[in-house]
Amino acid sequence: MFRYIVRRLLWMIPVLFFISVITFSLAHAVPGGPFDREKALPAEIIANLNKYYGLDQPVWKQYVKYMSDILLRFDFGPVYSSRSRRVNDIFRDHLPISAQLGVLAMLIALGIGIPLGILAALKQNSFWDYLGMAVAIFGVSVPGIVLGPLLILIFALTLKWFPVAGWGTPAKMVLPSIALGMRESAIIARLTRASMLQVIREDYIRTARAKGLTERAVMIRHALKNAFIPVATILGPMFAVLVTGTFVIEQIFAIPGMGKYFITSITNRDYPVVMGTILLYAVFLVIANLAVDITYAFLDPRIRYT
């Protein structure tokens, strides 16, 4: 197991290398530069800025410089649109906020999705089944971009239970976490139900019942563990997306998170920020997927890593 984890972590190196090369070349392939303004700056100033940031060099040299800065000094480079801040500052100031929001949304998604999926599968065609399906359809049909404003309208403006926007106090965290987690809870509920329905028809469930286990033990020890495998698979990417920041929800609720930088860095050609946010996302994704693979081994003893 330990060797497997080490090998997977070593695999991160080529994966991150590829992602960084592709992102770097794609970002530079987009026409225009970081210093294009509505009112064009004088050519000499742009030339000076380009020289200052090393943008007059060939792209491969810029890439080598960028990567060596990260590897040698853990410096993710400057932010072109701000003189005093660097990409490391963006990570330090905004990542914790996005991560808080993401983890809360994830907890909501799991807390609603998994119990509802299980109940719907165990009591097929009952009230819980219909509720589960309703949540599933609602979740995929009402995206965060719609749910966010609706939640503000109902619970913040009309009922005044929660503040409209912002971040920091627990009350401010409720609405955005729900808006972000709802869709994911629908996906999880759907998948849990489908996977449970498949598992409880397996022979080993009948065997478990036949040898006289209580229904509770059959469901928790035998069915749920196996049914959780496909659910665990989607949790990895889901976690990476939620924790590294979501533009729409952060924008609607005025949350100072990372999501904004994913978008504005591309439209502003702020290359180090583009690279930084994508690499951050990639690292989270690879680690989350590794964690998922490790949980497989706990869920299903037939899965072994050597």
Partner 1 sequence: MATQELTAQQKAALRLSERQGKPANLWLDAWNRLIRNRAAVLGGIVVILLILTAILAPVIAPYHYAKGDSAEAYTVPNWLIGLLPGNISAYAKTSSKFLLGSDYLGRDMLSRLIYGTRVSLPVGFMGAFTALIIGLVYGCISGYYGGRVDNIMMRIVDIMYAFPTMLLIILMMAFFKSTFAKVEPGTVAYTFNQVNRVVDRILGLQGGGMLFIFMGIGITAWMGMARLARGQILSLKEKEFIEAAHMIGAGDIRIIVRHILPNIIGPCIVAETLAIPGYINTEVFLSFIGLGVDPPTPSWGAMISEGAQSIRSYPHMVLFPALALSLTMFAFNFLGDGLRDALDPKMKGTS
Q: Please tell me whether residue 140 binds partner 1 under the rule CB under 8 A.
A: yes
Among the listed residues 1, 22, 45, 220, the single contact to partner 1 using CB under 8 A: 22
Q: Please tell me whether residue 81 binds partner 1 under the rule CB under 8 A.
A: no
Q: H or E segment at 12?
A: helix 2-29
Q: Please tell me whether residue 247 binds partner 1 under the rule CB under 8 A.
A: yes
DSSP letter assigned to residue 159: S
In the complex, what is the shortest distance from the CB of residue 7 to partner 1, in angstroms, rounded to a whole number? 19
143 phi and psi angles, rounded to 5 deg: -70, 165
Distance, C-alpha 103 to centroid of its chain: 9
Pick from 143, 144, 121: which is nearest to 132 by CA?
Answer: 121
**Which x/- pattern over 209-238 shows residues binding partner 1 (rule: CB under 8 A)?**
------------------------------
Distance from C-alpha of 186 to C-alpha of 184, rounded to nearest angstrom: 5
First to last CA, the chain: 6
Q: Please tell me whether residue 53 binds partner 1 under the rule CB under 8 A.
A: no
Distance, C-alpha 186 to centroid of its chain: 16
Q: Please tell me whether residue 5 binds partner 1 under the rule CB under 8 A.
A: no
Which part of the chain contacts partner 1 (CB under 8 A), choosing from 6-14, 91-99, 107-115, 145-153? Answer: 145-153
- Residue found under tokens 């989607």: 234
Distance from C-alpha of 250 to C-alpha of 17, rounded to nearest angstrom: 30
Query: For partner 1, which is the closer residue by CB, 197 or 213?
Result: 197
Q: Please tell me whether residue 172 binds partner 1 under the rule CB under 8 A.
A: no
Residues that bind partner 1 (CB under 8 A): 18-19, 22-23, 26-27, 29-32, 124, 137, 140-143, 145-146, 148-150, 152-153, 157-158, 164, 190, 194, 197-198, 247-248, 251-252, 262-263, 266-267, 278, 281
